[in-house]
Amino acid sequence: IERCNASRWGGGIVTYSGSHVEMDGSVIGECHATISGGFDIWGGGSTLLARNSVRGATQTCKQRARPPCVQHFPTSPAPRQTVENCTAEVQAGAGALWGGVDAMLIDCRVLQCHSSNINGGITVMGGGFLEMIRGTVTGCTCNKLGGAMQTYTGGKILLVEVLIADCQTTGDQNDGGGIHMLDGTVTMRGGAIRNCEALNADGGALAVKGAGCEVQLSGVTVHGCRALYGGFLRLYAGTVRLADVSIEECNGAIIWAEDTVHAERVRVVKAIGMNLYGTSSWTDCTFSDGNIWIAAGTHTFTRTTFARYGLTIASGSIMTMLDSHFSECTGRCLSVEGGTMVLRNTAF
C-alpha cells in the first residue's frame, strides 16, 4: 500500500469498531491522511495484526472526537516491519491507537515520521495499550507533545528492548523530545533513549505532566538527550520509578522533578545536574561530574556515591543521607542554604 491519501484519517489503513486487519509481509509506504497517515485503528474490538514487513506511512492530520480503537501487531520474524517517512499536519505521523486498544509490534521500525503539530510517531490514548518488542523509533519529529510517542487519557505503553533515538520536538511548550505523557503509563524494560531533544522546551527524553502518570524504566540507557529543563526527565506530576538506569551526557538539569521519583542502582555520568522539588528516594546510585539542587520536598539517599558531584539544600527542604560517600569534590560537597539535613554513616 503506497502513496495513498485520505482527506481525514488513516492514509494506509483505517478500521472501525469490531474490525480485524491482518498483514503479512506487507508494505505501507508514503501514505497521507489528516490524522494517522499509516494506520488509524479505532472502535471497540478492532484489531490490526502485522507480520514481517510493514513500511512507510505519511500523515497529514486534523483533530477529531470519535470513539477509540484496538490495534494489535503480533509476532514478526525477519524482515522487520517498518513505518517510514510519515508526515502529519496535526497528530500521529506514524499512526494512532484510539481507546480500548490492544496493540503489539514485534521487531518493528518507525523511521523519520513527522507531524507539524502533535506527536511525530505513535499516539496511544483512551485506555489503549501498545506493546513494542525489539523495535526502533528513530528520527521522528513534531512541534509539540512527543517526538516519538504520546499517551493520554489512560493510554498504556510497554517497550521491551526498544531503541528510541534522534527524536525531537521543536516548539516552545513542555513537550518531551522522546515521549510525552498527559496521563497513563509507560513501562520500558531494556533498550535505550538516545539523542532526543526538546531544545526549546522541557524533557529531552521524557516529559510527564499528569497526576495519574506512572513511569517505570528498568535496564535502560539514556544518552545525549537535551532540553531547556530536564535533559532526561521533566516531571510535573506523577510517579517515576528507575531501576538499573544509566544516564549519560545529558544536559539541562537532567532530571527536573516536582513530584515523586524512586530510583535504585541509577548511574549518572557527565550530566549537568538535577533539580528536585517533590519526594524522591535514591538507593545504591552513583553520581559523577555534576550537582543536585534540592529545592523543596523530602529526599533520601542511601548507599549512594558522589564523585565530583555536589549537593545544595535549599530552605524548606529535607535531605537524609545514609551510608553514602563523597569524593573528589571540586567545590563544596554540601552547601546548606536552609532546610534540614541528616547525615548518618556518610564519608567525605
Sign of the dihedral through C-alpha 194, 195, 196, 201: positive
Q: What is the pLDDT of residues 136-173, one digit of tens each?
A: 999 999 999 999 999 999 999 999 999 999 999 998 77
- What is the share, in percent, of the chain residues with pLDDT greater than 70? 87
Three cell numbers, residue 45: 474490538
Q: What are the residues whose beta carbons fall under 8 Å from the beta carbon of 76, sequence distance 6 or more?
A: 50, 51, 52, 105, 106, 107, 108
pTM comes to: 0.88
Over residues 175-189, the mean pLDDT reads 95
d(CA 99, CA 201): 28
Lowest pLDDT segment from 42-46, 128-132, 183-187 = 42-46
Over residues 27-41, the mean pLDDT reads 80
Structure confidence at residue 163 (pLDDT):
97
Closest CA to 267 of 239, 308, 231, 304: 304
Q: What is the pLDDT of residues 277-289, one digit of tens each?
A: 999 999 999 998 7
Q: Is the pLDDT of residue 254 over 70?
A: yes
Burial (0-12, 13-18, 19+ Cβ within 10 Å), 134: middle
d(CA 125, CA 20): 19
Over residues 263-278, the mean pLDDT reads 90
d(CA 171, CA 180): 13
Q: What is the pLDDT of residues 315-340, one digit of tens each?
A: 989 999 999 998 887 767 888 888 89
Q: Is the pLDDT of residue 222 over 80?
A: yes
Structure confidence at residue 18 (pLDDT):
76
List, as one string, the DSSP characters of 152-176: ETT-EEEEES-EEES-EE-SSSS--
Assign 101 a pLDDT band (cuts: 50, 70, 90).
Answer: confident
Three cell numbers, residue 272: 549537568
Structure confidence at residue 303 (pLDDT):
96
Structure confidence at residue 56 (pLDDT):
37
